[in-house]
Amino acid sequence: MRFGVIGGGSWATALAKILADKGHVINWWIRNEETIAFFRKKSHNPQYLSSARFDTSRLHLSSDVREVVRQSDVLVIAIPSAYAASSLAGLTAADWKGKKVVSAIKGLLPDSNILLNYYMQQEYGLGLEDYFAVLGPCHAEEIAEEKLSYLTFSGIDTQTAALIAEQFSTDYINTVVNHDILGVQYAAVLKNIYALGAGIAHGLDYGDNFLSVYIANAADEMASFLRQFGAEHITVGEHDGEDPLTHRKTPNYAASVYLGDLLVTCYSLHSRNRRFGNMIGRGYSVKSAELEMNMVAEGYNAARCICLINQSLGAPIPIAETIYKILWEDVKPSQGFSFIETVLV
């Protein structure tokens, strides 16, 4: 497999590091030519995960996305959802013919409120059988430090998903494979909203006791939303038997990619959504928080997208809807969380 990485941020850099450690030569699209020049000279990303060093002889860096796509069999797309369409502009259906796409995007495209797989199908005719998603629970910073982390690879073609996952399996990365391609992506979107809310709660000086109840209720709310899309294994403790060879229980995604990713994003100091929410809770405006972080918090746009989707879906998501109102309708954080207190059980 010839891998291409599209994106120059922390998550793209972390995934590229894993592939490089696995011995792959990487075709890597980075928008900024100055970043590419620095990378070639200093062997690390100047802005993100600077402790992660690369053998640049194994990196084919380019600001031409078409060249990277052409030279690769599997394209890992790791850019903020808000910039996905513009970053892929100029490509055609012919460019994607015969390619496998792995989405590392943890958000919805905000102009259309759709997951990347729908965009790729509409714009380029990419079938769902050629589309995969990679999720956590995992933070880029811990990958850079080679702390044991977990990645979940999802696709309806689980055999190919397993082959791709194997290319990311290292002594510090364990991988899980599932086929719930829509469920895992929506879960990633929702957990960022709830993590942003956890940050707001911290900024408002709520304690750990409240946060534990908040996250438990967020997990329940997430499961209710995912069930509308036919997501499987969303109840902790339920398993479909065991593997006949290893006798290990079959994976329950509620325990890792759903609940695990929610927990780490809500609690970890590495979580940009938590940091963003913390600023909102402390009185920052959305614009001020964006400028202070100089990074994209996917939960901000996701809150609006999910609430728009839910207008037709009708899932009970009062926590997510309240976070949306705080971010987009100028509801005061303290007022919003006073309401959230009343819906937690």
Residue 270 has a pLDDT of 84
Any idea which of 77-91, 229-243, 253-267 has the lowest mean pLDDT?
229-243
The length of the chain in residues reads 345
Question: How does 203-224 read in b/e, with b if 16+ C-beta sit within 10 Å?
Answer: bbebeeebbeebbebbbebbbe
d(CA 88, CA 332): 37
DSSP state at residue 253 = G
pTM for this predicted structure = 0.89
pLDDT tens track for 218-232? 998 988 888 877 666
pLDDT given for residue 153 in this prediction: 93
Range in 1-15, 240-254, 320-334 with the lowest mean pLDDT? 240-254
Task: Supply the pLDDT for residue 211.
Answer: 95
β-pairing verdict for 149-154 and 173-178: parallel
pLDDT at 294: 75
Residue 303: is it exposed, middle or buried by C-beta count within 10 angstroms (0-12/13-18/19+)? buried
Mean pLDDT of 121-145: 92
pLDDT digits (tens, 9 = 90+) for 30-80: 998 999 999 899 999 888 888 999 988 889 999 999 999 999 999 999 999
d(CA 300, CA 285): 12
Whether 105 has a pLDDT exceeding 90, the answer reads yes
Distance CA(127)–CA(306), nearest Å, equals 24
CB 158 within 8 A of CB 181: no
Domains and CATH numbers, the chain: 3-179 (3.40.50.720), 183-343 (1.10.1040.10)
Per-residue pLDDT of 325-345, as tens digits, reads: 999 999 999 999 999 999 998
Q: pLDDT value at position 233?
A: 59
How much is the pLDDT for 122?
95
Tokens of 102: 């792995």
Helix (H, G, I), strand (E, B) or coil at 185: helix
Whole-angstrom distance, CA of residue 345 vs CA of residue 307: 22
CA distances in angstroms from 306 to 272, 300, 309, listed in the order given: 19, 11, 5
